[in-house]
Structure 1
Amino acid sequence: MRLARENPSRTDECVGVVEIADAAVVGAAVGRASAAQPAWARVPVPERSRLLHAAADRVASEQDAIAELMARETGKVLPDCRGEVAFAVTVLRWAADTAARLLVDREVDDDLGRLLLRHRPYGVVAAVTPWNAPVVLAVLKVGPALATGNTVVVKPSPLAPFAVARFLDLVADRLPDGALQVVQGDATTSAALVGHPGVDRVAFTGGEAAGRAIGELAGRSLTPSLLELGGNDPAILLADVVLDDAAMDRMVMAAFATSGQVCMAVKRLYVHRSRHAELIDGLRAAADRVLCWGDAMHPGVTMGPLVSAAAACRVGDLLERAVGGGAYAIRIGRQDDATDPGRGHYLAPHLVLGTGDDDALVAEEQFGPVLPVLSFRTEEEALTRANSGDLGLGASVWSADEDHAFDLARRLDAGFTFVNTHNRTGLALRAPFGGVKRSGWGREYGDEGLLEHVQTCVVHAPGPFRPGGTGLGATAYPTG
């Protein structure tokens, strides 16, 4: 069976076709990865790092072509795609360098005994990756997994199969055969991969429904997993927030980049009631400056279409239901003059006023270019409302007082809280990223992100039982 992928900006254009990998194809890929893994794990860490840097060099030579392919298959604007591919190359180099620093045996030899701590790879890692940032979200799994001695089989989203496959094929070209492979397909392919007995660890980024299915499959065989799921990120703007042009530009793109189809985008905005009117004026002016929606390949466009007809219909329905319930929608930004909205899955960006916390547009992760703006009276109220719901991926606090913002951030139920920014402008390779509550478990980025892909193993000779010891006085747990 084959899957065709349309261009969301121009749905009459077919970007390409992929073959759906069945269980036999998946099994063969896992078999090759299993066969290659012991030898890859024995490669000294400095040599693995050198090979990953060579792979990064190889990919860098084709960055522009990969970015154009990504823009056509995802509807993400071309400059953002270029930035993503370039950052993915940086992530690959970071993984290589971080592994060389972290994967060092630690040994202690003192009066208490001799203790050796070492890091051991899991084996074969199955990476199931999404469509909205297909290359970088794959490399955040592939880079650390390979650098730590695992082999990897990647299953991309059928909505974005091509750019990531090209990127990873170039990486694999610099590695031993079987170390890195890609299998294309749909949910049945993911199930065959995650449920394969030869898989030793699962890494997944995506929505909650798919995450539940992945987690259940992994749990049946007790396969360890890393799940980065959705978020309904709140942004809290305190009474002293600085609403200058730079801050408003950041806020607009934090909510509307990639048409809001980002797990860590601002999904609901809470502002102190004394600044509400000023904020709305600031957001509208910023949108006029920085938000132009249209064909992802057109110059000057900063927000493309939604990824599919189903996504556009769902978000449009949320907007209609909110307005039908008494909310007021404000269309913002500019339409690209050269774009025909009828050719793609377009939805103009909107601010929505007058919603309640129980409205679906606020309570659910809308994943689209529609931002509810709500006011609050007290900071305690804002914290309570921001912490409502089952998701806890990201959040942000905006204030002129950084210390106070950090104090409030400690009380937010979020795995990653930004201060005076949100979304990708607030990320850093040194800062671990991941969720709490039903936004998943495990971390990417930072030392913690790399160490997700190894197990710490210990060799211990207690002092009293070493050659020449008395056999007495061993450290023991209390009894009686």
Structure 2
Amino acid sequence: MTAFTIPAGVLPEHRDLYYGGAWHTPAAGRYITSAAPATGQPIAAAPVAEADDVDAAVHAAHAAFGGWRRMLPAERGRLLRRAAEVLRAHADELALLDALDTGNPMTMLAGDARFAANGLDYFAGLATELKGETIPMGDGNLNYTVREPMGVIARIVAYNHPLMFAALRIAAPLAAGNTVVVKAPDQAPLSLLRLAELIGDIFPAGVVNFLAGGRACGEALTQHPLVRKITLIGGVPTGKAVMRSAADTLKPVLLELGGKNALVAYPDADFEALVQGLVQGMNFTWAGQSCGSTSRVFLHASIHDRVLEAVARLIPERHKPGLPTDPKTTMGSLVSEAQRDKVEGFVRSALDEGARLVCGGKRPADPALANGFFYEATVFADMRPDMRLAREEVFGPIMSVFRWDDEDRLFAEVNAVDYGLTGSIWTRDLATAHRAASRIETGYVWINNTSQHFLGAPFGGVKQSGIGREECFEELLEFTQVKNINVKLAAA
């Protein structure tokens, strides 16, 4: 297959670490070549930060904190808006870079930079809204609270939307007056380097800092005494490791972790809308690599067969794996060979445990995709709650379909997993919708919808799907600490 020619201006010119307003060679001199998971084609070298690099970056952020926290909130907001303008201007090239580095379709990734830009604007507008309270104490006392920034915030982002997560997740801590160190996903680090080139010099030196590296980089961030809060978008095992490591310095954490999310369809659901939403909710576009994917589908027995038949026809038509740089592609590749091996292991276990394969279940036959980590959109039916596929997160393109006819048993099975990120309810009856929303144990619920995020609406999980809320005013508060001040007034 002919190698894809990368247009000028897409790849980052700098291949080093960015902190303190400048580019720095990794202390150990280590670089890795990032390769396209869809083709195996080498893309570019990326730096590998170790503990010494983390220490230098954190100290740079700490040194910048005093000046940044004293900057007028409206001025911090103005700089965030400038960064948003830059992201919009470069959205298409950033989408192409992430498509190459992650295997996700370029046309779908174009929205990532724009959503991140909208988030920067959103939090820029909230920069002046961090207000305290007055507390009645009787005559002779004035008691009030103020919200203050915490200091250096470390943000570790995931590989499925690397540019969007890196750009969007700096907004709330910066608006609140903190400085930030962002760690790129080791599977897809290149768009973070390009982001540093585009927006790094908008902010004072040391306010935003960007690192790339592996486990050693992440562990050094979680353990550093000058990092005041650590955040992660990732899997549950990584979240637990971060939390354990942060405990030594009593760092608070904000974790957006995995999901085994349920879509529940009642008999009166709009048939066509349900079928469309069911396919959309699985996020096959990203090869199922999305923590919010509704990967467990519970269809009422009265509509089960008809819906499943329609889904089995629609999925292969809509989501056929293809090269991410092709504008017609609607489903990309998995990010790595290890991730594809994991998916194939789940398919084998489902078959061994008696699930029925409805569609997919194999690598695509197209020779143009032979060098990539592609896997077909896959659906299993006749699922049972005790199956491995019913309990564990795959982070791949596998949908599991269950049949139900008793509402109490339904929600017992829906809530039996350790996860609680998103849920989707499909019904035309208002009372049924609200009753179901109250019974499902998740942090985020769609009714007659799936997959959409809304700035201002708190996103986050319960149980082992995470701690804290993002994309909302509560996220801004996550990066502040409350100080109480009591003033003893002189006697009249």
Whether the aligned pair in 2 keeps the contact of 1:52 and 1:171 (CA below 8 Å) is: no
Question: What letter corresponds to residue 379 of structure 1 in structure 2?
Answer: E
Deviates more, 1:261-270 or 1:104-113: 104-113
Residue of structure 2 equivalent to 1:327: 355
Residue 390 of structure 1 pairs with residue 424 of structure 2: no
Residue of structure 1 equivalent to 2:479: 453
Distance of aligned partners of 1:87 and 1:385 in 2 relative to their CA distance in 1, 3 Å threshold: same
Structure 1: distance between partners of 2:360 and 2:337: 22
Matches within 5 A, 1:391-430: 391-423=419-451, 425=452, 427-430=453-456
Q: Which runs of 5+ in 1 are unaligned?
A: 470-480
Matches within 5 A, 1:287-366: 287-331=315-359, 340-366=368-394
Q: Which residue among 76, 81, 84 is the counterpart of 1:48?
A: 76
Query: How much does 1:334 deviate?
Result: 13
Query: How much does 1:171 deviate?
Result: 2.3
Residue of structure 1 equivalent to 2:63: 35
Distance of aligned partners of 1:212 and 1:333 in 2 relative to their CA distance in 1, 3 Å threshold: closer
Query: How much does 1:58 deviate?
Result: 2.0
What is the Cα-based RMSD across aligned positions, in Å? 2.1
Matches within 5 A, 1:74-89: 74-89=102-117
Partner SS, residue 78 of structure 2: helix
Query: How much does 1:460 deviate?
Result: 3.0
Deviates more, 1:163-172 or 1:384-393: 163-172
Question: What letter corresponds to residue 320 of structure 2 in structure 1?
Answer: C
| CA deviation profile, 1:183-227 (whole Å, cap 9, x unmatched) | 110001111111111111111110111111111111110011111
Residue of structure 2 equivalent to 1:477: none
Partner SS, residue 305 of structure 1: coil
Query: How much does 1:454 deviate?
Result: 0.9
Partner SS, residue 330 of structure 1: strand
| CA deviation profile, 1:214-271 (whole Å, cap 9, x unmatched) | 1111111001111111111011111211111x43223212102311110010111111
Structure 2: distance between partners of 1:254 and 1:358: 23
Residue of structure 1 equivalent to 2:165: 137
Matches within 5 A, 1:200-349: 200-244=228-272, 246-255=273-282, 256-331=284-359, 340-349=368-377
Query: How much does 1:372 deviate?
Result: 0.9
Residue 438 of structure 1 pairs with residue 464 of structure 2: yes
Residue of structure 2 equivalent to 1:468: 491
Whether the aligned pair in 1 keeps the contact of 2:382 and 2:403 (CA below 8 Å) is: no
Whether the aligned pair in 1 keeps the contact of 2:64 and 2:206 (CA below 8 Å) is: yes
Distance of aligned partners of 1:468 and 1:339 in 2 relative to their CA distance in 1, 3 Å threshold: farther
Residue 190 of structure 1 pairs with residue 218 of structure 2: yes
Residue of structure 2 equivalent to 1:7: 36
Structure 2: distance between partners of 1:290 and 1:202: 39
Between the two proteins, what is the percent identity of the paired residues?
30
Whether the aligned pair in 1 keeps the contact of 2:364 and 2:374 (CA below 8 Å) is: no
Residue of structure 2 equivalent to 1:373: 401
Query: How much does 1:432 deviate?
Result: 0.5
Residue of structure 1 equivalent to 2:25: none
Q: Which residue among 45, 54, 59 is the counterpart of 1:26?
A: 54
Structure 1: distance between partners of 2:354 and 2:199: 52
Residue of structure 2 equivalent to 1:156: 184
Query: How much does 1:283 deviate?
Result: 1.2
Whether the aligned pair in 2 keeps the contact of 1:130 and 1:157 (CA below 8 Å) is: yes
Query: How much does 1:332 deviate?
Result: 5.6
Structure 2: distance between partners of 1:345 and 1:107: 58
Deviates more, 1:199-208 or 1:52-61: 52-61
Structure 1: distance between partners of 2:347 and 2:251: 40
Whether the aligned pair in 2 keeps the contact of 1:229 and 1:263 (CA below 8 Å) is: yes
Partner SS, residue 90 of structure 1: helix
Residue of structure 2 equivalent to 1:476: none
Deviates more, 1:252-261 or 1:289-298: 289-298
Question: What letter corresponds to residue 247 of structure 1 in structure 2?
Answer: L
Deviates more, 1:65-74 or 1:2-11: 2-11
Whether the aligned pair in 2 keeps the contact of 1:288 and 1:333 (CA below 8 Å) is: no
Matches within 5 A, 1:88-103: 88-100=116-128, 102-103=129-130
Structure 2: distance between partners of 1:455 and 1:282: 52
Whether the aligned pair in 2 keeps the contact of 1:234 and 1:267 (CA below 8 Å) is: yes
Distance of aligned partners of 1:402 and 1:292 in 2 relative to their CA distance in 1, 3 Å threshold: farther
TM, length-normalised to structure 2: 0.89
Whether the aligned pair in 2 keeps the contact of 1:203 and 1:225 (CA below 8 Å) is: yes
Distance of aligned partners of 1:419 and 1:82 in 2 relative to their CA distance in 1, 3 Å threshold: same
Displaced runs of 4 or more, over 4 A: 105-113, 332-339
Distance of aligned partners of 1:362 and 1:419 in 2 relative to their CA distance in 1, 3 Å threshold: same
Structure 2: distance between partners of 1:310 and 1:239: 39
Query: How much does 1:339 deviate?
Result: 6.5
Question: What letter corresponds to residue 2 of structure 1 in structure 2?
Answer: Y
Whether the aligned pair in 1 keeps the contact of 2:258 and 2:421 (CA below 8 Å) is: yes
Question: What letter corresponds to residue 442 of structure 2 in structure 1?
Answer: A
Partner SS, residue 332 of structure 2: coil
Query: How much does 1:289 deviate?
Result: 4.8
Query: How much does 1:403 deviate?
Result: 3.4
Structure 2: distance between partners of 1:311 and 1:139: 25
Query: How much does 1:168 deviate?
Result: 3.9
Query: How much does 1:59 deviate?
Result: 2.3
- Size of the aligned set, in residue pairs, is 461
Structure 2: distance between partners of 1:286 and 1:468: 78
